Amino acid sequence: MRIVLFDLDHTLISGDSDFEWAQFLIGQGVLDREVYEARNQEFYDAYMAGTLDIYAFLDFQLKPLSRHGLAQLEDWHALFMSQKILPMITSRAREEVAQAKETADYVVMITATNCFVTGPIAREFGISHLIATIPEKKNGNYTGQVDGVPCFREGKITRFHQWLENQGLSWESVNECRFYSDSHNDLPLLKMVSEPVAVDPDTILSEYARRCQWPVISLR
């Protein structure tokens, strides 16, 4: 059994979809710039530094989903895809995914960003399996809370094992597992897989990959 995992932000796309979603909503006048922009930057900086409080961030990021109906959110997301996400997808990234689909039994996008934001992006890449943070829903609408374990740091391992179980698989049945990521926040999962790949890595991951002699590539 061969599985290929792709992180999303700064890996398959040359930016951060979580950060850009909040900036998009600010630009649309949905969120107040004065209140949200500085806070959005603070969370992004904490993520890059490895000090992010994931639950505080999700409280910030998921609350706007609870204030609007799904139809309106999907309309905004379609515009977000065309204006923000598609320009951040390179031909090199598309080629890497296409090559993985030729050789792997499963190709999976695994990301800390919530599945409302990332679901359409996974579909754009033709990736049918998505492991992401799940926003809670009740009666067809988002509540602003997280459902289950956030898909972040060690939580990515937890969510990956849950996904395997849902596929009727186990970690023991996986002969090869490649994981592409840019971030030192993904080191727990990178250390677990048989083929870690650093993609346009941040400074911490770049140094770690050099010491461990992991492959380092660019999808830019």
Structural element, H or E, at residue 71: helix 70-80
Architecture of domain 2-217: 3-Layer(aba) Sandwich (3.40)
Note the pLDDT of residue 35: 85
The pTM of this model reads 0.95
Note the pLDDT of residue 88: 98
Q: Domain extents for the chain?
A: 2-217
Note the pLDDT of residue 121: 98
Which residues lie across from 202 on neighbouring strands? none
Note the pLDDT of residue 153: 97
**Average pLDDT of adjacent 10-residue blocks, the chain of 220 residues:** 98 97 95 90 93 93 94 97 98 98 97 98 98 95 96 98 96 95 98 98 98 97
Residues that are catalytic: 7, 9
